């Protein structure tokens, strides 16, 4: 089956990277809306329009399921896409439940884009988990820009993150949740800044597990040849410089896997 992974940009590769490890035989399409990234600082209506365009394109490619590997697009558009299309649509959810299950009485800092942290979806999740007193939300929009230009661990990244996180008393926190798929590229700098007891959690495993649950007959745990087609906003990526850029993101994700 052809499975699409969709994101505003390169963050979604972190979810695909995880899927490649456990679903090696499937055929994947990775679609990054590079013409319109970032989504997180735009209006929800604009994001909805971009997502709908991408969905039309992906469905025309014959995909059997779409993973919205973007918390922002999930927040702004997944509900509408599920009303409109009948194929399985798997969204992202910040790993707040995982954090609270592991450390019930400690606070969690959920980092994400502005759209995600001001959205109804996160509000409903917090309500459902009765976590109002245990969650703080923080937008880190510049990480999306840094990621897109492959500036992963510069002095500027470190000083941005130190500045944004300076006011939190991390003694009260068990974990920091990466509620934006682009943030996976910065785990090493975050690890350097955060006290060692603060866990860094992402939603990638949860999303891929949900994909396996939703799509019947998915071939997990089998080794085989895989095919991945990459698209930037409907344009197939075949240029060797662009493919090398994608490869660099995937290598970075290999490195970040070791950071917990
Ligand atoms: N990667 C996206 C997410 O998970 C958002 C990045 C953007 O602002 O476009 O939220």
Domains in the chain (CATH in brackets) are 2-91+204-256 (3.40.50.1860), 96-202 (3.40.50.1860)
Residue 25 pLDDT more than 90? Answer: no
Ligand 1 atom with minimal separation from the 8 CA? 9
Percent of the chain surpassing pLDDT 70 = 95
CB-count exposure of residue 100 (10 Å: 0-12, 13-18, 19+)? buried
Ligand 1 mutation pick, 6, 7, 43, 92, max ligand atoms within 8 A of CB: 7
pLDDT, average across residues 34-57: 98
- Of the candidates 51, 151, 142, the one whose C-alpha atom is nearest the C-alpha of residue 92 is 51
Q: Does the pLDDT of residue 222 top 50, yes or no?
A: no
The tokens describing 254, both together, are 């290999």
pLDDT tens digits, one per residue of 140-154: 999 999 999 999 999
Is the pLDDT reported for residue 98 higher than 80? yes
What integer is the mean pLDDT of 70-77? 98
204 touches ligand 1 (CB under 6 Å): no
Average pLDDT over residues 84-106: 96
Among 17, 91, 74, residue whose Cα is nearest residue 251:
17
In contact, 186 and 152? CB cutoff 8 Å? yes
Cα angle 185, 133, 104; round to 5? 70
Calculate ∠ Cα 216-220-224, nearest 5°: 125
Among 48, 182, 186, 249, the mutation site with the greatest number of ligand 1 atoms within 8 A of its Cβ is 182
pTM (2 d.p.): 0.95
pLDDT-based confidence at residue 221 (cuts at 50, 70, 90): very low
181 lines ligand 1 (CB under 6 A): yes
∠ Cα 241 29 233 (to 5°): 65
Which band of pLDDT confidence, cut at 50, 70 and 90, is reported for residue 220? low
Ligand 1 pocket check for 72: Cβ under 6 Å: yes
Listed as own residue / partner, the contacts of 162-166 with beta carbons closer than 8 Å and 24 or more positions apart are 162/193, 164/138, 164/140, 165/138, 165/193, 165/194
Give residue 121's pLDDT band: very low, low, confident or very high (50, 70, 90): very high
Is the Cβ atom of 143 under 6 angstroms away from ligand 1? Answer: no
* 198 Cα to the center of ligand 1, angstroms: 23
Query: Nearest to residue 52, comparing CAs of 31, 78, 72?
Result: 78
4 contacts 32 by C-beta, under 8 angstroms: no
Going by pLDDT thresholds of 50, 70 and 90, the confidence category of residue 56 is: very high
**Ligand 1 mean position, distance from CA 125 (Å):** 18
H and E: helices and strands count for the chain: 11, 10
**Alpha carbon of 184 to ligand 1 centroid (Å):** 11
In short, whether 121's Cβ falls inside 6 Å of ligand 1 is no
């Amino acid at each position: 089956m052809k499975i699409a992974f969709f994101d505003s940009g390169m963050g979604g590769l972190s979810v695909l990277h995880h899927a490649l490890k456990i679903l090696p035989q499937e055929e994947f399409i990775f679609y990054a809306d590079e013409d319109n990234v970032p989504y997180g600082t735009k209006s929800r209506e604009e994001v909805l329009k971009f997502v709908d365009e991408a969905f039309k394109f992906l469905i025309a490619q014959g995909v059997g399921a779409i993973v919205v590997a973007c918390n922002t697009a999930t927040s702004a558009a997944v509900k509408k896409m599920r009303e409109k299309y009948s194929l399985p649509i798997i969204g992202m959810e910040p790993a707040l439940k995982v954090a609270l299950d592991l450390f019930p009485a400690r606070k969690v800092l959920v980092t994400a884009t502005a759209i995600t942290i001001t959205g109804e979806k996160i509000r409903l999740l917090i309500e459902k988990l009765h976590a109002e007193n245990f969650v703080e939300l923080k937008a880190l929009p510049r990480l999306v820009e840094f990621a897109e230009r492959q500036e992963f661990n510069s002095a500027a990244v470190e000083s941005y993150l130190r500045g944004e996180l300076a006011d939190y008393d991390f003694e009260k926190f068990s974990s920091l949740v990466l509620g934006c798929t682009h943030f996976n590229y910065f785990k090493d700098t975050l690890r350097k800044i955060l006290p060692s007891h603060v866990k860094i959690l992402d939603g990638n495993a949860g999303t891929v597990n949900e994909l396996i649950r939703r799509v019947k007959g998915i071939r997990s745990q089998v080794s085989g040849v895989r095919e991945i087609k990459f698209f930037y906003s409907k344009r197939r990526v075949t240029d060797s410089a662009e493919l090398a850029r994608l490869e660099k993101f995937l290598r970075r994700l290999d490195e970040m896997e070791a950071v917990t």
